[in-house]
Amino acid sequence: MAISGWFVAVLAVGAVPVVLLGGWPGFALWAALLTLGGIVDALLAGSPGGLRVTREVPARSRLGEPVEARLVIVNSGRRTVRGAVRDAWQPSAGARPARQRLLVPPGERRALQTTLTPTRRGELRAAGVTVRSTGPLHLVARQRTLRVPGALRVLPPFASRRHLPSRIARLRELDGRTSLLVRGQGTEFDSLREYVRGDDVRSIDWRATARRRDPAGGGAKLVVRTWRPERDRRIVIVIDSGRSAAARIADEVRLDTAFEASLLLAALATRAGDRVDLAVYDRRVRGRVQGATGAQLLARMVDVLAPIEPELIEPDWYGVPALVRSITPHRALVVLLTTIDAPGAAQPLLAMLPELTRRHTVVVASVTDPEVIAATATRTASDEVYRAASAERAVQDATRVAAAIRRLGGEVVTGAPQELPPALADHYLALKAAGRL
């Protein structure tokens, strides 16, 4: 039950009979009239229980894109239902409008549109549909909340997509599709073919040319070798979703930066013909993508990553080698997206690292805080000098951990939140060019 503003207004108008009829008689009369009106109104209002509501929500959307959600309301009762409807979503779904008018004659159906503008990724749920059915006198309303489950999976935005075209162009340069005839590291023999004008003379394979010399005489046919980069390498991305991933740097949570970086790397690597596997791990595996390739890989990755949030626990690094072993038995490029800050906190990571570097190429990627870097150079007042000292200390700690990782055979990529994804992609390209995959 709910009362309307009209009910309050009519009650207030009761002051007239109270004064004119001299007190309690007028009061009693008005109270009786209003009570009667309220009861009649409530009885004549269409029952919200007679409504059948179904929800039509797209299963997925990308963060930052508005989504239309539809409610289809069928009135299976005997009276017209008029009033208001609230489609209740959890607050971060950004459902607008909050309330909508509704008028459904018996036996008919109406559709209502709700625009969702999610403010964070993850699984967003609808709580229920509340219908307030007003009576014909507009005095009182019957209200009921109907359970209509619904969910929308909001995927990570993958804003680093914009770096992809330039990196793919670099990949093509590496690949045999552009004239890459010079042998370098990280290339494998592709084929021998006849020299055409324009080919680099250094790529002429004299021995093959000698063999191909036509014994019957005739012109000398020069043969060149072509090379192509390695293919079908394996890349294992391990994202640390532990305590430190919850930190917010330059308005982006570390975990989200890690997602961006891994998405860009995966998009690039799958173009290059490498196989990418992903695991999100703290003390147990929070999400895993294995065996997907091409366009399917990215779709599965965003789907798996969407609902994952940082956990306030210390990651268990000793489980990582076993995790990598379970993903692939072969040599692979293992990318650890984590945080390197304090030497103390990095101890388990450093202790585990040799086990990985013995078999694999290991890259540790970490986000640096631009605020800390800026603090090292701001030194006008005494408190700022202390702050700068503290910031320098933080930078030195991170440098020390990075040096330790390099000593143990790993590689380190760091960058501000916006810069880390392209930096990691560039590092991958460099490794590929060097044939170290």
- Taking the least distance from each CB to other proteins, the nearer of 229 and 310 is 310
- Taking the least distance from each CB to other proteins, the nearer of 27 and 195 is 27
- Taking the least distance from each CB to other proteins, the nearer of 186 and 370 is 370
CB of 292 to other proteins, least distance (A): 21
CB of 237 to other proteins, least distance (A): 19
CB of 8 to other proteins, least distance (A): 5
CB of 244 to other proteins, least distance (A): 9
- In the three-class reduction of DSSP (H, G, I as helix; E, B as strand; rest coil), residue 71 is classed as strand
CA distance 58 to 152: 7
- Taking the least distance from each CB to other proteins, the nearer of 122 and 229 is 122
The encoded tokens of residue 371 equal 């605020």
CB of 401 to other proteins, least distance (A): 14
394: left (phi over 0), alpha (psi -120 to 50) or beta: alpha
- Taking the least distance from each CB to other proteins, the nearer of 108 and 123 is 123
- Given a contact cutoff of 8 angstroms between Cβ atoms, the answer to whether 421 and 160 are in contact is yes
The residues, any chain, with a CB within 8 Å of residue 48's CB and separated by 6 or more, are: 81, 131, 132, 133, 142, 143, 144, 146
CB of 181 to other proteins, least distance (A): 35
In the chain the first and final C-alpha atoms are separated, in Å, by 69
The encoded tokens of residue 405 equal 């990782």
CB of 396 to other proteins, least distance (A): 6
| Omega before residue 97 within 30° of 0, cis | yes
CA distance 102 to 72: 11
- In degrees and rounded to multiples of 5, residue 402 shows phi and psi of -60, -40
- Between strands 2-3 and 140-146, the pairing is antiparallel
- Given a contact cutoff of 8 angstroms between Cβ atoms, the answer to whether 121 and 93 are in contact is no
- Taking the least distance from each CB to other proteins, the nearer of 199 and 311 is 311
- Taking the least distance from each CB to other proteins, the nearer of 89 and 317 is 89
- Taking the least distance from each CB to other proteins, the nearer of 127 and 168 is 127
- Taking the least distance from each CB to other proteins, the nearer of 20 and 201 is 20
- Between strands 285-289 and 275-281, the pairing is antiparallel
Closest CA to 371 of 247, 256, 260: 247
CB of 266 to other proteins, least distance (A): 21
The residues, any chain, with a CB within 8 Å of residue 324's CB and separated by 6 or more, are: 236, 238, 332, 334, 356, 360
CB of 386 to other proteins, least distance (A): 4
CB of 49 to other proteins, least distance (A): 14
CA distance 47 to 141: 10
- Taking the least distance from each CB to other proteins, the nearer of 19 and 43 is 19
Exposure string for 166-205, b = 16+ CB within 10 A, e = fewer: ebbebbeebbeeeebbeeeebbeeeeeeebeeebeeebeb
- Given a contact cutoff of 8 angstroms between Cβ atoms, the answer to whether 152 and 59 are in contact is yes
